[in-house]
Amino acid sequence: MLGWADGIAKANQIKKRDSHVVAVIGDGALTGGMAWEALNNIADAKDRPLVIVVNDNERSYSPTIGGLANHLATLRTTDGYERFLTRTKDLLERTPVVGQALYDTLHGAKKGLKDFIAPQGMFEDLGLKYVGPIDGHDIEALESALTRAKRFGGPVIVHCLTEKGRGYQPALQDEADRFHAVGRIHPDTGLPIASSGADWTSVFGEEMVKLGEERDDVVAITAAMLQPVGLDKFAKRFPDRVYDVGIAEQHGAVSAAGLAHAGVHPVFAVYATFLNRAFDQVLMDVALHKCGVTFVLDRAGVTGTDGASHNGMWDMSILQVVPGLRLAAPRDADQVRAQLREAVSVEDAPTVVRFSKGAVGPAVAAVGRVGGMDVLREPGTDTPDVLLVSVGALAPMCLEIAALLDRQGISTTVVDPRWVKPVDEAMAPLAGKHRVVVTVEDNSRVGGVGSTIAQALRDAGVDVPLRDFGIRRASSTTPPAPRSWPRSG
């Protein structure tokens, strides 16, 4: 973040350290509001050494869009200022007295000259020195530009043009996202190694197209991630009903509130971890105004190789505090389709549908229904021991656990709440018929589904032990396992 770099540069001044700070930001990231908040503050410090390298490859996950993209496109194609000034100086220096005076006059008017030959006023109007555009693959040119930027002694923008996927032809041919996120591929061709079955994202994407055909008030919003969140097919079918806001989740959420207020139903698809950026807007602009906005959270839970920043393990904890919000955790493809439709039918409150990454497993059939919850396994006895609450895609694992417990003589009921917020009213009476409640979720234990159900049981006066299994904090310790399950008799 540019704000992080600004903080380091401030600390260097306080500590009297004679050092430069260099921050690198992509043109896609510049579409976010925080980047411009930082630039606004950085530009105010004329003597603070800070070099900002804009890595401009015209893409984030997909091609960069918006007014900033248009401005950068202008800068990319009009690099004549430096060449013009150099040639002019060479010419005028042949007439030393008159030439030098005229050159100084031209140099003093460089702002207007730059805007005429290479319009870059957006940065310089902020008070930021601008260098570029530079070929980011030309090492000598890049070193020269960075050296000049360092000599300036204040905040400088170094605009570098690069090519995403450079050096690997299959990536260059992939117009969708230039291999932004790569799974298993054939290295020679770049073609994916096919996996069996559909994935969660494509199931959602296909259902969105069906919804769009049935309802002309359904629109889609993405934050520079049209293909990764599965909205590319919807965009192709309904190009006038898709809004890409760039890497600006906050604006996307507020814009969705406005759309809902004006009578349409927006579906904002985003990675679960990136909804963190828009929490204030979800709470203040969507929920408090009772706007019918559906947030679809892709890559919820543990997403493996995506890395710490992309593991969506906090969404269910964060969203628990949002008043009126309803949160669905589908267990299979059928439930993604069904619960997405349930979500977009709600017009007076925000709804959330969250699902995992990768291949979606086979359908998990319900054998009954209690309240709004699906019963996935009945205990086979009138005095069951364990109520196992399965959240989302963990249903197959929970059914395996129940089978293992059954072999040990421990009778188990398995339920899928489907909507984990609010806690279903039938949960407390059902829990009261069991000796222990166990919750299993792919979310942080802190503030997660387990802790929310525990609170609901306390509020209902149901005194049943509850064990919650989820993602523990790195600083916490795993609670000790019980020596044995509570048994009847």
Residue length of the chain: 489
User: Per-residue pLDDT for 117 more than 60?
Assistant: no
Q: Is pLDDT larger for residue 281 or for residue 248?
A: 281
Residue spans of beta strands (DSSP E) within 9-121: 21-26, 50-56
pLDDT at residue number 487: 39
3-state secondary structure (DSSP) of residue 295: strand
Q: What is the pLDDT of residues 165-211, one digit of tens each?
A: 777 777 666 665 545 556 667 776 667 666 656 899 999 999 999 99
Active-site residue (options: 249, 357, 441, 445) = 249
pTM: 0.78
Of 114, 129, 178, 277, which is the active-site residue? 277
Q: What is the pLDDT of residue 67?
A: 47
CA dihedral 301, 306, 310, 311 (to 10 degrees): 20
Higher pLDDT, 29 or 174: 29
Would you state the structure tokens that stand for residue 107, as one six-digit string?
A: 């140099």
Does the active-site annotation cover 213?
A: no
Regarding the domain delimited by 2-79+118-161, which CATH topology (the fold level of the hierarchy) does it fall under?
Answer: Rossmann fold (3.40.50)
**Coil vs helix vs strand at 342:** helix
Cβ 172 vs Cβ 178: under 8 Å: yes
Strands 50-56 and 155-161, bridge-based pairing: parallel
Side chain identity, residue 297:
L
Q: Tell me: pLDDT of 104 over 60.
A: no
Q: Is the pLDDT of residue 92 over 60?
A: no
- The single residue of 59, 164, 299, 421 carrying the catalytic annotation is 164
Tell me how far apart the alpha carbons of residues 72 and 68 are, in angstroms, rounded to a whole number. Answer: 6
**Statement: residue 477 has pLDDT above 90:** no
Query: What is the DSSP track for 459-476?
Result: HTT----EEEEEEPPTTS
pLDDT the model gives residue 197: 65
Residue of higher predicted confidence among 309 and 144? 144
- 468 band by pLDDT with thresholds 50, 70 and 90: very high
More confidently predicted of 234 and 49: 234
CA geometry: angle at 478 spanning 474 and 480, to 5°?
170
Write the CB contacts of 258 (distance below 8 Å, at least 6 apart in sequence): none
Domain ranges of the chain: 2-79+118-161, 200-354, 368-471
How far is residue 56's CA from residue 26's CA, in Å, rounded to a whole number? 6
- Active site includes 164? yes
- Given a cut of 90, whether residue 459 has pLDDT beyond it is yes
- Rounded to an integer, the average pLDDT of 347-352 is 97
Angle in degrees, CA 120, 126, 130, rounded to 5 = 45
* CATH homologous superfamily, domain 200-354: Thiamin diphosphate (ThDP)-binding fold, Pyr/PP domains (3.40.50.970)
- Would you call 148 a catalytic residue per the annotation? no
Distance (Å, rounded) from C-alpha 470 to C-alpha 449?
Answer: 9
SS3 5: helix
| pLDDT per residue as tens digits for the range 360-417 | 999 999 999 999 999 999 998 888 999 999 999 999 999 999 999 999 999 999 999 9
Predicted confidence at residue 19, as pLDDT, reads 81
Averaged pLDDT of the chain: 83
Residue whose pair of structure tokens reads 């008070």 in the numeric block: 127
pLDDT of residue 75: 47
Q: Which range (97-106, 309-318, 439-448) has the least confidence? A: 97-106
List strand residue ranges (DSSP E) for 152-228, in order.
155-161, 218-222
Element (H, E) at 388: strand 386-390
Q: What is the CATH number of domain 368-471?
A: 3.40.50.920
**Rounded Cα gap, residues 465 and 326, in angstroms:** 26
200-354: same fold as 2-79+118-161?
yes
Q: How confident is the model at residue 83 (pLDDT cuts 50, 70, 90)?
A: low
What is the mean pLDDT of the segment spanning 443-463?
95
Mean pLDDT of 468-474: 81
Instruction: Give residue 3's Cα distance to chain centre.
Output: 19
